[in-house]
Amino acid sequence: MKRREFCASLAGGLGAARLLAQQPVPGHPRELRFAPLPFTPPRAADYRHRLSNGALAFLVEDHDFPLINVGVIIRAGEYLEPREKTGLASLTGSQIRSGGARAKPPAVFDEEAAFLAAQISSNIGPLQGSAGLNCLSKDIDAGLALFFEMLRAPGFAEARLKLAKSQILQSLERRNDSAEAIEAREFQRLIRGEQHFSTRQITKATLESITRPDLADFHSRYYYPANFIFAVSGDFETARMLEKLEKAMAGWENRTAPIPPVPKPAFAPKPGIYLVEKADVNQGRVRMGHLGVMMTNPDHIAISIMNSILGGGGFTSRITSRVRSDEGLAYQAGSSFQHGNFYEGAFQVVFQSKSPTVAEAVAIIKEEIERIRRGGVTPEELEVEKNFAIESFPRRFATAAAKAMQFASDDYLKIPEDYWQTYRDRVRALTPADIQRVAQKYLQPDNLVILAVGNTEAILKGNPDRPQFALAKLAPTIHRIPLPDPLTMVYPSAIP
Distances (CA, A) of 474 to 164, 452, 471, 478: 45, 13, 5, 9
pLDDT at 131 over 50: yes
Q: What would the pLDDT profile of 89-109 be if each residue is shown by its tens digit?
A: 999 999 999 999 999 999 999
Mean pLDDT (the chain) is: 94
List of residues 6+ apart from 188 with CB closer than 8 A: 198, 199
Residue 24 C-alpha from the chain's centroid: 44
What pairs with residue 272 in β-bridges?
Answer: 449
Instruction: State the pLDDT at residue 21.
Output: 52
Share of the chain above pLDDT 70, in %: 94
Query: Distance (Å, rounded) from C-alpha 154 to C-alpha 215?
Result: 10
Write out the DSSP string of 3-23. Answer: HHHHHHHHHHHHHHHHHHHTS
Query: Distance (Å, rounded) from C-alpha 330 to C-alpha 155?
Result: 49
Name the helix (H) or strand (E) containing 91.
helix 88-98
- Of 477 and 187, the structure prediction assigns the larger pLDDT to 187
* Mean predicted confidence (pLDDT) in 207-236: 98
Q: Is 139 left (phi over 0), alpha (psi -120 to 50) or beta?
A: alpha
- Spatial contact of 42 and 58, defined as CB atoms under 8 Å apart: no
pLDDT at 294 over 90: yes
* Mean predicted confidence (pLDDT) in 148-164: 98
- Spatial contact of 305 and 430, defined as CB atoms under 8 Å apart: yes
* Mean predicted confidence (pLDDT) in 198-216: 98
* Mean predicted confidence (pLDDT) in 263-287: 96
The pLDDT confidence band at residue 22, using thresholds 50, 70 and 90, is: low
User: How many Å is the Cα radius of gyration of the chain?
Assistant: 27
pLDDT at 461 over 60: yes
Instruction: State the pLDDT at residue 14.
Output: 47
- Spatial contact of 154 and 96, defined as CB atoms under 8 Å apart: yes
Range with lowest mean pLDDT among 15-29, 261-275, 283-297: 15-29
Distances (CA, A) of 370 to 141, 292, 430, 477: 59, 17, 21, 21
Residue 119, amino acid = Q
- Spatial contact of 118 and 143, defined as CB atoms under 8 Å apart: yes
Q: What is the dihedral of CA 186, 192, 193, 196, to 10 degrees?
A: -110
Instruction: State the pLDDT at residue 7.
Output: 44
Name the helix (H) or strand (E) containing 291.
strand 283-291
Q: Please report the domains of the chain, with CATH numbers, ordered by start residue.
A: 44-248 (3.30.830.10), 272-407+416-480 (3.30.830.10)
Distances (CA, A) of 83 to 96, 262, 264: 21, 14, 16
* Mean predicted confidence (pLDDT) in 191-205: 97
pLDDT at 204 over 60: yes
* Mean predicted confidence (pLDDT) in 446-468: 96
Q: How far apart are the first and last CA of the chain?
A: 80
Range with lowest mean pLDDT among 6-20, 216-230, 287-301, 411-425: 6-20
pLDDT at 12 over 70: no
Instruction: State the pLDDT at residue 25.
Output: 76
pLDDT at 9 over 60: no
Which SS3 state, helix, strand or coil, does residue 407 take? helix
Cβ count within 10 A of residue 418: 11
* Mean predicted confidence (pLDDT) in 119-144: 98
pLDDT at 160 over 50: yes
Which SS3 state, helix, strand or coil, does residue 468 take? coil
Distances (CA, A) of 263 to 78, 194, 410: 11, 14, 20
Query: Distance (Å, rounded) from C-alpha 70 to C-alpha 60?
Result: 11
* Mean predicted confidence (pLDDT) in 21-42: 76
Of 273, 262, 225, 260, nearest to 246 by C-alpha is 225
* Mean predicted confidence (pLDDT) in 62-89: 98
What pairs with residue 349 in β-bridges?
Answer: 288, 335
pLDDT at 23 over 80: no
* Mean predicted confidence (pLDDT) in 173-196: 97
pLDDT at 6 over 50: no
Write out the DSSP string of 302-313. Answer: HHHHHHIIIIIS
What pTM value is reported for the model? 0.90
The pLDDT confidence band at residue 35, using thresholds 50, 70 and 90, is: confident
pLDDT at 363 over 70: yes
3-state DSSP helix/strand/coil percent for the chain, to nearest 5? Answer: 50, 15, 35
Residue 128, amino acid = Q
Query: Distance (Å, rounded) from C-alpha 33 to C-alpha 26?
Result: 9
Instruction: State the pLDDT at residue 31.
Output: 76
